[in-house]
Amino acid sequence: MKYKSSAKILSFFLVLSVLFLGSYTYFAKPVSAAEATFGLVRLDRMKAAAVATGGTVCLKPSASDTTVTTIAVAFSNGNGSTTGFTLGLAATFAATVTDLPYFGPYASRVQATAFPGINGISPVVGGQSITYTVASTSLTAGTVYCFNFGAGLTPRTTPASDLTGTISTNGTPGETATYAVTTITEDQIAVTATVPVIFNFALSGTSIILGNLSTSAVTSGNVVATIGTNAKNGWVAWLKNSTAGLYSTLQTSAIATTGSYGTIYDLSTTTGYLLDVDATTGSPSIDAAYDGNTADKGGIMQDTYKQIAYKGTPGAADQLTLYLRAKVTTIQAPSSDYADTITIAASGEF
């Protein structure tokens, strides 16, 4: 009788233990992954029906995540046929960690940290997910980790919004984030422009006052011509004067150099009226007929256009300095009305 009572008591406690363990298992809160501060997937191409695209995955853990050996990315299946994504072979998703994005305000932005150990790894593709396996690592709370995946993802034919997916790690406690992307009809903006033909020409002045001329010294005055053009073959400049020299109507007399066009004369040893052209900026070539090279030399002008300079390439602001030089003989008729008009022309060779 005593034996039967002990057996009943033992059976009672065994049943009670089973009920207790069962209720603990039923009511105990399961351990779950932490919700990441954020996760994102940036697609290289958002165009529906585009060729296979790659992208960038980023995850910012909300807590320290240790012993992480995998990170998995799930892509939306959309409606299963015309929206969502089709996944390619594992090798096409190989990871890289170059050119990772920056985060934060511009002045204090910080580049994302490469996800540890993932560079060069190809994932396992299963269903709509890719899973990368890395050597055991730890992720720090508040640090943004990113990696790029190769062009293994093909957007399907119909544009769609709110294509959601997940990013998750298997660490302790593990991190998970839900993200969304969109596919659109066209994700590229075509930019066109026209550069017009450009030719600019300006003179620094429209008059040169030589004043009283000397029999012993050379008197000079100048004007600067500035030429700018995008003509592929550069530009040419010409010049002519209105008479054979500085001419006085009152005296019916001209100041002229005895000689011929194309020869350089030195007013330190002769008299007359000459033009000297110097390359000031941009290295244009000066025509030999007007390349005096010194303060006393120059060439004889003509009353028809003669080339004075050229340049065989475009120039933004090429400059020529045009020096008019004069020196008179002792017997030159006196007058204050000696005058000449110089006309300069230029053109771009487009």
Mean of all residue pLDDT scores within the chain: 92
| Cα separation, 275 vs 261, whole angstroms | 11
Percentage of the chain modeled with pLDDT above 90: 88
Q: 5 in helix, strand or coil?
A: helix
Lookup: tokens for 150:
């190769």
Measured CA to CA in angstroms, residue 307 lies from 172, 235, 289 at distances of 84, 11, 9
Contact call for residues 306 and 197 (beta carbons, < 8 A): no
pLDDT (tens digit per residue) in 63-115: 999 999 999 999 999 999 999 999 999 999 999 999 999 999 999 999 999 99
Contact call for residues 63 and 141 (beta carbons, < 8 A): yes
| Cα separation, 153 vs 128, whole angstroms | 10
Contact call for residues 75 and 129 (beta carbons, < 8 A): yes
Lookup: tokens for 192:
């066109």
Q: What is the pTM of this model?
A: 0.70
Q: Look up tokens 């300069």; give the residue.
A: 344
Work out whether the CA dihedral 224, 229, 233, 237 comes out positive or negative.
negative
| Cα separation, 287 vs 322, whole angstroms | 12
| pLDDT per residue rounded down to tens, the chain (350 residues) | 444 454 444 444 444 444 444 443 333 334 468 999 999 999 999 999 878 999 999 999 999 999 999 999 999 999 999 999 999 999 999 999 999 999 999 999 999 999 999 999 999 999 999 999 999 999 999 999 999 999 999 999 999 999 999 999 999 999 999 999 999 999 999 999 999 999 999 999 999 999 999 999 999 999 999 999 999 999 999 999 997 789 999 999 999 989 999 999 999 999 999 999 999 999 999 999 999 999 999 999 999 999 999 999 999 999 999 999 999 999 999 999 999 999 999 999 99
Give the domains, in start order, of the chain with CATH numbers.
34-183 (2.60.40), 199-348 (2.60.40)
Count of other CB atoms within 10 angstroms of residue 280: 15
